[in-house]
Amino acid sequence: MLAKTWWVLALACALAGGALAQGTGAFPGRPVRLIVPFAPGGPSDLLARTIGQKLTETWGQQVLVDNRPGANGVLGTELAAKSPPDGRTLLLGTSGTHGINASLFPKLPYDTVNDFAPVTRLAQVPFVLVAHPSLPVRSVKELMQLARARPGEISCASGGSPSQLAAELFKSMARVDLLVVPYKGAAPAITDVIAGQVSLTFGGMALAMPQVKAGRLRALAVTGARRSPALPEAPTVAEAGVPGYEVTTWYGVLAPGGTPPQLVERINGAIVKVLQSPDVRERLLGQAFEPLADMPEQFAALIRSEVAKWAKVVKDAGVRVD
C-alpha cells in the first residue's frame, strides 16, 4: 500500500513538474525549423531571420530558417503542410502562398485552409514598381505609352505569385501587354532587373529601396492605397495613371494542420511579444514593413477572405499554372 501511494505521488509530481516546465518555457525543447518557401534575400527571408533571431533568444533554442524555393512557394509550403504538428516546424506564409496560389494552381498538393493552423500575421507591405534606368520611362503614364507602342516586348520579372498577380492586374487595368517572366523569389528577380536582363519588376520595398537610392533602379510607383512613408516621392499606381489599382502583400506564420490549439496560442504569444519589441519594430519599419499581429482566429478568417478575393483576380486575368 505504501509503495502504491509513493508511486501515485511520484507520478503526480512528474506531471506537475511537466506542466510547470511547459509554463516556464520548456517548449520547444529543441531547435525549431521556420520554412521560407522562397529564395534567400527576399522579403520573406528578411522577416523570417528577424523574427527567428528574437524567438531564439525567447525560447533558448535555435530557430533555423530553411529556404525551400520553387513553384511560387508551393514546394516549401507542401513541406510544411506534411510536417509533424508538434510546433517545431513553422511556415513563413504570404498572401501568395495562402491567397493567390489556391486559384493559380488548380492541383495543389495540400489544402490551403485545412492543412494549416494559422498563428499570426507579421507584417504587410506594398510593392514598388521599379525599372532599370536604361528603360526610357520615368512615370507610369510613360510606361503605358511605351508598352502600347511595343506590345509584348517589355519584360517584367515576377518574384512570386503576389508579384506576378500585381503585374497581371496592372496589365489588365492599364490595358498594356507586358512579358511577365517568373522567378523563384524576389531577390533573383530584382537582381536581374538591376543587371538589365529584365526591364521591370513589382518588387518588395525592403529590397528595392536601397537600389533606388543608389540609382541602380528607378521607382515609378508603389502599389498600396496610399504613398509609402519609406518612399514618399513615389506616387501610388492609382494616382499615377491607373485608378483603382491596389495590391498589398502580407506575411505570417503558420503551423501544420492538427497542431494543438494551446500550442498555437503559445507560439502566437511569443511572436506577438517579439513584434512588440521596440528594436524589431524599428528594424521592420526601416525596411518598409508595417508590423502586424493578430490572433489565430483572425488570421484564419483573413486567409479565407484572401482565397476568395484572389480567385476573382486570377479568373479575370486568365492566369493558370498547370
Sequence spans of domains, the chain: 30-124+249-317, 126-222
pLDDT at 80 over 90: yes
Q: Which CATH class is domain 126-222?
A: alpha beta
- CATH of 30-124+249-317, picked from 3.20.140.10, 3.40.190.150, 3.20.20.10, 3.40.50.2300, is 3.40.190.150
Burial of 29 (0-12, 13-18, 19+ CB in 10 A): middle
Query: pTM to 2 decimals?
Result: 0.76
Cα 208 to Cα 203: distance, rounded to the nearest angstrom: 6
Cα 223 to Cα 127: distance, rounded to the nearest angstrom: 5
* Range in 21-35, 155-169, 201-215 the model is least confident about: 21-35
Any idea what the Cα angle at residue 123 is, between residues 211 and 48, rounded to 5°? 75
Q: What's the pLDDT band for 12 if we cut at 50, 70, 90? A: very low
pLDDT of residue 165: 87
Span 268-297, average pLDDT? 93
Helix (H, G, I), strand (E, B) or coil at 46: helix
pLDDT at 263 over 80: yes
H helical segments located in 175-251: 186-194, 205-213
The label of the residue with cell 529564395 reads 39
Element (H, E) at 57: helix 43-59
pLDDT at 18 over 50: no
Q: Give percent helix, percent strand, percent coil of the chain, each to the nearest 5.
A: 45, 20, 35
Pairing, β 63-67 against β 32-36? parallel
Q: What's the pLDDT band for 198 if we cut at 50, 70, 90? A: very high
Nearest to 42 by CA among 157, 213, 198, 170: 157
Percentage above 70 pLDDT, the chain: 91
Span 63-78, average pLDDT? 95
pLDDT at 318 over 70: yes
pLDDT at 14 over 50: no
Per-chain mean pLDDT for the chain? 89
44 C-beta neighbours (distance < 10 Å), count: 31
